Amino acid sequence: MDYRVISIGALDAHPLWNERSPQRSGHATCTLVRGESEGEKRVILVDPSLPAPILKARLLERSGLTPDDITHVFLTSFLPEVRRGIELFEGATWWISGVERESVGVPLISELQRAAADGENELAASLERDVAILKRCEAAPDTLADHVDLFPLPGVTPGLTGLLLEEPRHTTLICGDAVPTSEHLERGAVPHWAGQVSRAKDSFAEAVEIADVLILGRDNVVLNPTKRPF
């Protein structure tokens, strides 16, 4: 098993930089994980957040791969910024946690029905795309590949789920928005958009407790500052 960051994410407005309005296009950190499951090769792209043309170019730059080489896509959440380029990977299996899928589905369909009834055609068209993506997403198994396991991190969204990568000498956690940036990590702060702050704080604490290395949701790979160097 190995992994590589394809694109480092960013917040549209970083509150810990004293930004109060959008300064850039927000996008999630996108990570490539390669492994096997029962002898089957798996090439998993986590959080395809960039627009499709940019993501296609970045994937080639960072890994030498094309969209056709990706066997599976995993979404840490269903937030729009996390899945912007997912349709580039039509030949892959799309995964999301079962809890996230269920928590999003009913409200999304209800909002689509309301928009259609109110004649909000542009909004309805956007929501129809979201519904189509969610229907295509399958509930992820507990283990995506050998030494690659789901790690639930609820709070920012009800079913936000990271991936725990177990390596011989250390453990790496793909955090998603549970731990967005190095500033959030240093200050022990959960993101301001967390839907359930108490659960988000618990998930943040679990992430810091278990991982030696953290791949942050809107930032780079960092060593866990609470752990000894290895």
Report the alpha-carbon distance of residue 107 to residue 154 in Å, rounded.
18
CATH code (residue 189): 3.60.15.10
Whole-structure pTM value = 0.95
- Domain residues for the domain of 175 are 2-223
Kindly report, residue by residue over 179-226, the tens digit of the pLDDT: 999 999 999 999 999 999 999 999 999 999 999 999 999 999 999 998
93, two tokens: 């299996």
The CA-based angle 180-183-185, given to 5 degrees, is 65
- The confidence band for 229, taking pLDDT boundaries of 50, 70 and 90, is low
Residue 199 lies in a domain: yes
User: Would the pLDDT of 230 be above 80?
Assistant: no
Q: What beta strand segments (E) does 67-225 contain?
A: 72-75, 93-96, 138-139, 143-145, 148-152, 161-166, 171-176, 213-216, 221-223
Please indicate, yes or no, if residue 229 is contained in any of the structural domains.
no
Rounded mean pLDDT, 81-87 = 97
Strands (E), 101-212: 138-139, 143-145, 148-152, 161-166, 171-176
Buried b (16+ CB within 10 A) or exposed e, 96-130: bbbbbbebbeeebeebbeebeeeeeeeebeebeeb
How high is the pLDDT of residue 3?
97
Mean pLDDT, rounded, of the chain: 96
Q: What is the pLDDT of residue 227?
A: 82
